[in-house]
Amino acid sequence: MKWRLSALKYGKGICTLISIGLLFIILIACQNTNQEGRNSQPQSLEQTKYNQEDDNDYLDDQPQLAGGSERDVREPHPVSNNKLQKEYPNIVFLHGSPKKNQVALTFDDGPDTRFTPQVLDVLAKHDVKATFFLIGARAKVNREIAKRIHDEGHAIGNHTYWHPNLPKEELGRLHWELTETEQVIKDITGFKPRLFRSPYGALNDEMVKMLGEKNNTVIGWNVDSLDWKQPGADIVSDNVLSSVGFGSIILMHDGGDWSMDLSGTAQALDKIISKLKKDGTKFVTVPELIGVPEAK
């Protein structure tokens, strides 16, 4: 009888230990399940962007071109802007004096976090000053890059706030785009830019009249690098070097549509500057080339 009672007590003790062990295992399993659940939850937008950047997968959160990609919208205007330049010679400029061996490099659609620093590095390497036509929305979110452009001695012009195709808009849109961008640039640099370049180079008579009344100087170009077509650095440099002359205003891009890879622009720029310097060409800003102030 005593043996049976001892065995019973022993059995109860074993059961208690087994129960405690099972409870401990269940608790551990639950903790692991909860942890896995937490790990499988969708990441926040900030976490996702951070990880994608770590993997060098560019997630473009920059303001986009309201009028669309350059390659989809740009239309050749070989005569129309020349007519406007003839009609408004004190407002519209497509080039500088053909009597001086100097040119102006210009860059549109920035500041861009990917390509503007590359372009600035090449310009600094050669101690060359250029002119940047900034999109207001991009300057606002990339303030430090815009400030670097100004601090390194480059000229700055207005390229609208959202980059719309202006001839297809009401004239009031131009006024809004102009003044909003002026304010952004003034907040960064301390001045309102006098220079204005229309997106896609698209202009009409009404626009030029308004811009003139607002004390703006309209800047076009007579040498197009066609870098927005992304043909590669060699073709971009050839496009420029085969067309450039005394007084040329050269169009290039340090920003664009989110899908564009403009790294070839910076590569071509190095070759363009080196070749033209050998010919004794002087690089100047647009205000220096045409003799107008940078600020209003």
Name the one residue in this structure whose structure tokens are 């390659």. Answer: 71
User: Contact at 8 Å (CB) between 132 and 277?
Assistant: no
- For residue 62 the two structure tokens come to 């920059």
Distant-in-sequence, close-in-space partners of 153: CB < 8 Å, separation ≥ 6: 129
Give catalytic status of residue 95 as yes or no: no
* DSSP 8-class letter at 184: H
Q: 88: closest CA among 250, 206, 248, 224?
A: 206
Residue among 62, 66, 295 nearest 176 (CA): 66
- C-alpha span between 251 and 261 (Å, rounded): 17
Residue that is written with structure tokens 């100097």 in the block: 102
Point out the catalytic residue in the list 159, 227, 253, 257: 253
- Our answer to whether residue 227 is catalytic in this structure is no
* Active-site hit among 95, 108, 109, 150: 108
For residues 239 and 181, what is the distance between their CA atoms, to the nearest angstrom? 31
Provide the 10 A C-beta neighbour count for residue 119: 26
Kindly list the distances between the CA atom of residue 107 and the CA atoms of 122, 132, 244, 252, 262, in Å, as whole numbers in the listed order: 13, 5, 16, 5, 12
Task: List the catalytic residues.
Answer: 108, 253
